[in-house]
Amino acid sequence: MPDTAILWLRRDLRLTDNPALSEALARCERVVPVYIHAPHEEAPWEPGAASCWWLHHSLSALAKDLAGLGSRLIIARGDSLATLRGLIGQTGATHCLWNRLYDPATIRRDTAVKQALRADGIACDSFNAAMLLEPWQVQTGAGAPYRVFTPYWRRCVGQLDQVGRPLPRPDALPPVAADIPSLGVDALGLLPRIRWDAGLDATWQPGEAGAAARLRAFLAGPVHGYREGRDLPAEHGTSMLSPHLHWGEIGPRQLLATIGGAQDGGANDRRDSEDDRAHYLRELGWRDFSLQLLYHFPQTTDAPLDPKFSSFPWRDDPQDALLRAWQQGRTGIPIVDAGMRELWHTGWMHNRVRMIVASLLTKNLRLSWQQGARWFWDTLVDADLASNTQGWQWSAGSGADAAPYFRIFNPVRQGERFDPKGRYVRRWCPELNRLPDKFIHQPWEAPTALLQPCGVRLGTDYPLPVVDLKGSRAEALAAYDQIKQGT
C-alpha cells in the first residue's frame, strides 16, 4: 500500500510555500489535508468573534483551492489527537506532518500529540512556516532571548541568509478517498448569528488569493513611501497583510523574497524604495520578535513581563463605564473614537491609532492592559496572541522593549500630527464632519457659536471627554511613581 501522510493544517492555510505540504508530497504518494476545529485546546485564548469570521472564509477558500488541484479538505471537530488517530486508522497513514505554532497552549498540545503518535509508530515532524527565524535561532551572545528589539533585529539581519527561498505551489495533488467523512465549513458555526459582519465582508477577502491580491496592491502603491505613509491613518499607507499572515495565507518568507528584492528606477528612487522596503521588513522583524517573546515568556499573555507592574494601581471602574465608552468609540476624544469605530466596523485598526487608543486606556483611563488585549482579541481579524500581547505590554510600559510608562501619548497632538486635516476622524466620526480642522481633534475647545452651526452639541451629538487629558496624565505619572518606589 502506498505511504499516506496526514497534513494537519491549522494557521497555515495556503498551498504556496507550505513546508509541511511540500514534505508530505516528497515522502508519500497520498496526502490527506485535514483541519480540526478544537478551540477548547487553545484556551484561554480561543479565537474571538472576528477571528472566527475570518477562519470560516479562509477555510472555504482553501477547500476550493485544494479541489482545484484534485484534492479535498477534510474538516473535523473535537479532540485533535483522537481525530488524528481516527484518520490514521481510516487511511493507514504512516506520517503526520504539520507546521509549528508558538503560543503556549498549542505548544503543549502539539508536543503531546507528537509524543503520542510517535509512540504509535507514526512518523511525526513539524516545520517552520510562520517565522523568518525561529525563537531558538536568534539569541544574545550569552545564549539568552532578546528583550530589546533593535539588537534583536540587527542579529536577525545578519542571519537572513539562513532563510530559504519560498517553496513552489504544487501543480496537482493526489486525490483524497471519497469515503473519508468531512464536515462542511458551515457546520463549525463560525459566522455570527446576528450578522454584524457587513463591514468585514466589504473590507476583506480571506484566503490565499486575497493575500496575493493584497500584496500586489501594496507593491503597486503603499510600499513606495511606506516609511512615512505607514503613520497616516487616513491614507492607504500600510500593507494590511497582518490577518493573512496570522492565518498563514501568506508567509513571511514570501514577503522577504518579494519585498526584499531588487528594484527598478534611478539611483535616488532605488535608495528611497530600498529604505521603504527595509522599514517594512523591520515590521516583519517586529512580528518575529513578538513570537519569540511569547515562546520564551509564555506567562506574558496575562502577567506583566516587568514584575513591578503586578502591583500597579489600576483604576477601579465598577460599572465598566469608562471601559464601555472606550470600546464603543464614545470617549469624546475624536481620534480614539475613530479608531475604535474603525475596529468595530472592519475588524482592523491602523497601527498608529492602535498605539493611541492603547495609551489612552492604560494611562489616561488607567484601566489594565489585559482588558484592552481581550477586547482586541475578540474584535480584530488579525488577533495574533504574540503581537497582541507584545503591543499591549509595550503600550502599558510593562513589557520587553516597552515604551516608558511616563511616555504618554497626547491624542490631540497625535491627531494633529498624523491626521492634520481630520480626514480619518471625519470618516469614522461623521457627526464632527463640519468642524474646522483647528477643532476636529479637540471639539471641546471650540466656542459654542462655532459648534452650533456645525451641528454639534457636545454631550448630545458627540460625547464630552470622559477624562481630562492633563489631569489624568498627572495621575498616571503619580501611579507610576508608586510602583517605581515600591510603595
Q: What is the pLDDT of residues 367-408, one digit of tens each?
A: 999 999 999 999 999 999 999 999 999 999 998 876 677 789
CB distance 204 to 347 below 8 Å: yes
**What pLDDT is stored for residue 380 in this prediction?**
98
Of 212, 169, 22, which Cα lies nearest the Cα of 99?
A: 22
Task: Evaluate whether 252 touches 305 at the Cβ level (below 8 Å).
Answer: no
C-alpha span between 88 and 96 (Å, rounded):
8
The DSSP element (H or E) to which 75 belongs, if any, is strand 74-77
pLDDT at residue number 319: 87
**Cα angle 367-473-317, degrees, rounded to a multiple of 5:** 25
Q: Cβ distance 414 to 321 under 8 Å?
A: no
Residue 268: pLDDT above 50? no
Q: Point out the residues that are catalytic.
A: 283, 286, 314, 351, 369, 392
Instruction: Give the model's confidence band at 486: pLDDT under 50 very low, under 70 low, under 90 confident, else very high.
Output: low
Model-wide pTM > 0.85: yes
pLDDT score for 262: 39
Distance (Å) of CA 59 to CA 24, 190, 214, 233 = 20, 11, 18, 30
Binding site as annotated, residues for FAD: 226, 238-242, 280, 382-384
Q: What is the pLDDT of residue 484?
A: 78
pLDDT tens digits, one per residue of 32-55:
999 999 999 999 999 999 999 999
Say yes or no to pLDDT of 483 above 90: no
Confidence of residue 266 (pLDDT cuts 50, 70, 90): very low
User: Is the pLDDT assigned to residue 284 strictly greater than 60?
Assistant: yes
**What type of residue is 442?**
Q
Q: Which residue has the higher pLDDT, 401 or 259?
A: 259
> Tell me, what's the pLDDT at 265?
42
Q: Which amino acids are annotated as binding site, given as ranges? A: 226, 238-242, 280, 382-384
CATH topology of domain 130-166+208-296: 1.25.40
Would you identify the CATH topology of the domain 1-129?
Rossmann fold (3.40.50)
CA distance 226 to 203: 21
Q: Is the pLDDT of residue 95 over 60?
A: yes
CA distance 301 to 393: 9
- The Cα-based distances of 311 to 294, 308, 373, 378, 471 in angstroms read 22, 6, 19, 26, 22
Query: What pairs with residue 4 in β-bridges?
Result: 30
Model pLDDT, residue 190: 98
Q: Averaged over 176-189, what is the pLDDT? A: 97
Q: Tell me: the pLDDT tens digits for 108-156?
A: 999 999 999 999 999 999 999 999 999 999 999 999 999 999 999 999 9
Rounded CA gap, 268 and 296, in Å?
41
In angstroms, the CA 87 to CA 95 distance is: 11
Position with higher pLDDT, 9 vs 485: 9
pLDDT > 70: percent of the chain: 96
Cα 196 to chain centroid distance, Å, stands at 21
CA dist 74 and 222 (Å) reads 38
C-beta of residue 247 within 8 angstroms of C-beta of residue 54: yes
H or E element at residue 304:
none
H or E segment and range at residue 125: strand 123-127
Dump pLDDT digits (tens) for 324-375. 999 999 999 999 999 999 999 999 999 999 999 999 999 999 999 999 999 9
For domain 307-484, the question of CATH label 1.10.579.10 is answered with yes
Confidence of residue 274 (pLDDT cuts 50, 70, 90): confident
Q: Where are the domains of the chain?
A: 1-129, 130-166+208-296, 307-484
- Asked if 1-129 and 130-166+208-296 have one fold, the answer is no
**Pick from 379, 196, 438, 239: nearest CA to 357:** 379
- pLDDT bin (cut points 50, 70, 90) of residue 264 is very low
> Where does the pLDDT of residue 261 fall: very low under 50, low under 70, confident under 90, or very high at 90 and above?
low
Kindly report, residue by residue over 196-210, the tens digit of the pLDDT: 999 999 999 999 999
pLDDT of residue 487: 52
Q: How many CB atoms lie within 10 A of CB 383?
A: 23
Mean of the pLDDT values across residues 253-272? 65
**Residue 263 scores a pLDDT above 80:** no
Q: Rounded mean pLDDT of the chain?
A: 94
**Residue 253: alpha-carbon gap to chain centroid:** 17
Task: Report which listed range, 254-263, 267-276, 377-386, is most confident.
Answer: 377-386
